[in-house]
Structure 1
Amino acid sequence: MGSWDGIDSFIAVCEAESFSGAAARLGVSTSHVSREVARLEDRLQVRLLYRTTRRVSVTDAGRAFLERCRRLVEERDEAFAAIIERDGAARGHLRLTCSIAYGERFIVPLVNRFLRDHPQLSVAIDLTNRLVDLVGEGFDLAVRTGASLDDSRLIAVRLATRRRYLCAAPAYLRRHGVPCSLEDLAHHACLTGTADLWHFSEGERLIDFRPAGPWRCNSGFAVLDAARQGLGICQLPDFYVEADMKAGTLVSLLDTARPPAEGIWAVYPHRRHLSPKVALLVEYLKLHVGRI
């Protein structure tokens, strides 16, 4: 048994909190991961993981061993990267995640243009509205909007900002009147999407409002269409509604209570030396996302 055998599997199991999740991340079978971890435990003569039918948890000894293994693997991978990518070119495979609507409309086209200039790079893009565990699921990079960063394993780089607008169609406002305050919104049909709360501000004070109404859908474009049809009031990011506001098919409301701009971030796992494939893509996104 080699010195490294089982270490990658052990780290993957700890981060995925399951053998099947670790196997999917490593591209091997669940039984292979289980055997490697068992052999590692036999070699160390200590239990690293508690296994039940429902979950996997790390023992105290396993937790101490995990931190050392992470440092070793990070240094190993950096050593390989320093040699393989010594010319600073973007090569290898890159895993990227982003929210569905923003990714489809903006990030994927930018990544596609980036790939034209870096033909030695392959990419897998996972568009999802769930908050992906970049470290546990083995992702290199995420593009996130508005989220605060509270994970010490991650680094965030601001790419641009976006604003949220409260909007309604002129036909709806003619029938139901124009809300003049946040209190008025309680008497209007609110078109709700994935967000349970709408955000506003009064001076420096941030205010959360819980919208209610007869219509809901987990698609921003569906919310936009319902607003265009005069079914109610929506709050959506700028990229959904700016063209309609310019055309007059939607009207911006309560502008003085508009919430502060949110950041659009490139988020990636902490590394002392960022790989060229990630560094180059982050710089490319910084250059272009703000111009969209």
Structure 2
Amino acid sequence: MARWDGIEAFVEVVRLGTFAAAARQLQVSNSHISRQVAQLEQQLGLPLLYRTTRQIRLTDAGERYYARCRELIEGFHEAESALQALRERPEGILRLSSATTFGERFIAPLVNDFLREHPQLETRLHLTNRQVDVIDEGYDVVIRMGTLQDSSLVARRLCQRREFVIGSPDYFQRNSQPHTVAELGKHRCLVGSRDLWRFDIDGVHREVRVHGPWQANSGPALLDAALKGLGLAQLPDYYVLPYLASGELVEVLHPFRCCDAGVWAVMPRHRQHAAKVRLFVDYLVENLPTRLTQAASSKPA
């Protein structure tokens, strides 16, 4: 048990970056954490950390040991979560993250509806366009869009997400419509959080880097700029379909439209069976597609 306590202390120090933060997380004193890590190093016969007044860094041995110990800690939490899943009543704090605009418009209202059904739950919803570290930052569920990178996380598909390249009739009075992805280099592209646009070309999903004089990390801002003829934008269906129907926007590059980007709930493997996580993700699967369909049929007020 003493060895395990030292391993847990060591992992938390590395994960959180300081002895003080690890002590707060484990609800013990700084000196206790320092003593546990020192005893662990003595037992192993190798230093795990370089300590300076400004930072803590892993030694080569520490890097290898941390990778394996982190798996042990996650396995321990997974075992606890498996038991917790036997209890159907969700409880505790549900920690969530989503992209800012999508979260404000769709996720936050669904979170609030879910909490009305489960008032015993607490929630911490963090909206950011930064890609958070699901495990290290302690999230239960993170909403991500597009193509997911391979990882040890568990992902569940919530709904489809089609992406359109659009411009206003006014813009196309002054500029010819592009017919190939390569022609985007001749156009003013309105850039969002990422300067990579997604396309399906000859059955292969590709990302193409675009450039332009305008950039913002906001979907509504992109939509407004496109409506005002400032350039081309790539936006998902729930933003543009009402304006395509009214003729205020025109789609281009239709043969290369990315139709299967997807919206995903991503979660740590050891938390997927927790009642609060499982029931919330089920709730999103059931209700998010309807909300997106409603949004795609009408302009925002």
User: Which TM-score bucket, shorter chain as reference?
Assistant: 0.7 to 0.9
Spell out the pairing of 1:178-189 with structure 2 (5 A cutoff): 178-189=177-188
Tell me the equivalent position of 1:37: 33
Q: CA deviation at 1:3?
A: 7.6
Is the CA contact (8 Å cut-off) linking 1:11 and 1:70 kept in structure 2?
Answer: no
Structure 2 vs 1, CA of residues 66 and 206 (structure 1 numbering), >3 Å: closer, same or farther? closer
Tell me the equivalent position of 2:117: 117
Structure 2 vs 1, CA of residues 20 and 143 (structure 1 numbering), >3 Å: closer, same or farther? farther
Where structure 2 has 5 or more consecutive residues not aligned to the other structure, the ranges are 293-301
Q: CA deviation at 1:218?
A: 2.2
Tell me the equivalent position of 2:100: 100
Structure 2 vs 1, CA of residues 24 and 127 (structure 1 numbering), >3 Å: closer, same or farther? farther
Letter in 2 for 1:209: V
Where structure 1 has 5 or more consecutive residues not aligned to the other structure, the ranges are none
Is the CA contact (8 Å cut-off) linking 1:146 and 1:264 kept in structure 2?
Answer: yes
- The alignment partner of 1:26 has SS state of helix
Is the CA contact (8 Å cut-off) linking 1:25 and 1:137 kept in structure 2?
Answer: no
Is the CA contact (8 Å cut-off) linking 1:161 and 1:264 kept in structure 2?
Answer: yes
Tell me the equivalent position of 2:281: 282
Is the CA contact (8 Å cut-off) linking 2:22 and 2:33 kept in structure 1?
Answer: no
Q: CA deviation at 1:237?
A: 1.7
Deviates more, 1:70-79 or 1:278-287: 70-79
Q: CA deviation at 1:247?
A: 2.2
Tell me the equivalent position of 1:209: 208
Is the CA contact (8 Å cut-off) linking 2:19 and 2:34 kept in structure 1?
Answer: no
Tell me the equivalent position of 1:142: 142
Could you state the TM-score of these two structures normalised by the residue count of structure 2?
0.82
RMSD over aligned CA atoms reads 3.0
Structure 2 vs 1, CA of residues 24 and 238 (structure 1 numbering), >3 Å: closer, same or farther? farther
Number of aligned pairs? 286
Is the CA contact (8 Å cut-off) linking 2:19 and 2:33 kept in structure 1?
Answer: no
Spell out the pairing of 1:60-99 with structure 2 (5 A cutoff): 60=61, 63-64=64-65, 67-68=68-69, 71=72, 74-75=75-76, 78-79=79-80, 82=83, 86-99=86-99
Deviation readout 1:215-271 (Å, 9 max, x if unpaired) = 222222111111011111111122221222122211111211212421211111112
Return the alpha-carbon distance in structure 2 between the equivalents of residues 21 and 38 of structure 1. 9
Is the CA contact (8 Å cut-off) linking 2:100 and 2:129 kept in structure 1?
Answer: yes
> Do residues 192 (structure 1) and 188 (structure 2) align?
no
Q: CA deviation at 1:49?
A: 2.5
Tell me the equivalent position of 2:13: 13
